[in-house]
Amino acid sequence: MPPLRSILVHLDGTDRAEVRLRLAHRLAALHGSALTALFAVSPSVLAVLPMMGGIPPMQMAGEVDPDHRAHATAVFERLLQDNASRSDWRELRGEPVIESFVRSALACDLMVLGQRNPRDAAGFDVPGDFVESVMLGSGKPALVVPFNGRVSPAPDKVLVAWRPTRESAHALTTALPQLQLAKEVHLVASVDSEDPAPPMSRLREYLHLHGIVQTHGHGPLQDNSHIGEALQSLAAQVGAGLIVMGAYGHSRARELVLGGATRTMLESSTIPLWMAH
């Protein structure tokens, strides 16, 4: 079982960054992890007027918003005083934000990221596909914190969304330290045309081998375009504080193609997501 020894939390200019960092501190205390806070935002873009008429203006990278950096550093310093666990501060200085964050994430066990709030365009100064890009680019598991609501470092009830795929197995394996802290683990599988009867009994045996015995199975979800909504409905029904699932998609020439359930959950889940590609 891979331990959580290194946690990387993303800081930006949003108010929700404090929630992510506070959660990361509590996770680090639970698992004895080293914690790194990485302030990673995109510099502003400046339009440069051409010297001659008829030529469209050029765009050049400007400076990182100083108010956003000041907000992030204040949050970092305040939580250092409030928590026994230490954390290291790092920041990007004009480097490509996604590629640089991915390189940092390669040497961590878990990323703590923030769901994009469509109403917070002024503060969320990273590319719109930041979360999915760093997940797919790094291959590391991510705890995606929703943009509102309360979050817990060790929820009593966890919902595992299972498919017989590498991505789903990766998410489950990396989440084992969290599942061991839960009082109930609920299991649900999607119906796959190649595997109409998912081997849930083997999945439960695997969890039992890791000391996770309070498991509850649910009827399979139909594999269709509404599976994301069905997952959220079931999670609310059982009172889950965390959903564990694979992240499906690929990135080609910086153009992401995501599976329907992955896209739905990243956009609209009000419950924290433990995802891995």
Give me 110's structure tokens.
């878990």
Where in the chain are the domains? 6-44+59-145, 157-276
- Give the per-residue SS3 of the chain: CCCCCEEEEEECCCCHHHHHHHHHHHHHHHHCCEEEEEECCCCCEEEECCCCCCCCCEEEECCCCHHHHHHHHHHHHHHHHHCCCCCEEEECCCCCHHHHHHHHHCCCCEEEEECCCCCCCCCCCCCCCHHHHHHHHHCCCEEEECCCCCCCCCCCEEEEEECCCHHHHHHHHHCHHHHCCCCEEEEEEECECCECCCCHHHHHHHHHHCCCCCEEECCCECCCCCHHHHHHHHHHHHCCCEEEEECCEEEECCEEEECHHHHHHHHHCCCCEEEEC
Give me 62's structure tokens.
């400007």
Q: Average pLDDT, stretch 169-185? A: 97
Do domains 6-44+59-145 and 157-276 share one topology? The answer is yes
In this prediction, residue 52 has a pLDDT band, given cuts at 50, 70 and 90, of: low
Over residues 118-147, the pLDDT tens digits come to 776 554 588 889 999 999 999 999 999 999
Share of the chain above pLDDT 70, in %: 84
Over residues 90-126, the pLDDT tens digits come to 999 878 999 999 999 999 999 999 999 877 655 458 8
Give me 45's structure tokens.
């873009």
Q: Average pLDDT, stretch 17-25? A: 96
**Domain 6-44+59-145 is classified in which CATH homologous superfamily?**
HUPs (3.40.50.620)
Query: Looking at residue 60, what is its pLDDT?
Result: 43
In this prediction, residue 253 has a pLDDT band, given cuts at 50, 70 and 90, of: low
105 or 149, greater pLDDT: 105
Q: Average pLDDT, stretch 70-91? A: 92
β-pairing, 255-258 vs 110-114, is unpaired
Instruction: For residues 179 and 142, give the distance between their C-alpha atoms in angstroms, rounded to a whole number.
Output: 15
pLDDT at 254 over 70: no
Q: What angle do CA 22, 20, 92 make, to 5 degrees?
A: 110
- State which CATH number among 3.30.420.40, 3.40.50.620, 2.60.40.10, 3.20.20.70 fits the domain covering 157-276: 3.40.50.620
pTM across the whole model? 0.89
pLDDT at 47 over 70: no
Query: Looking at residue 46, what is its pLDDT?
Result: 38
pLDDT at 242 over 70: yes
Instruction: For residues 54 and 75, give the distance between their C-alpha atoms in angstroms, rounded to a whole number.
Output: 46
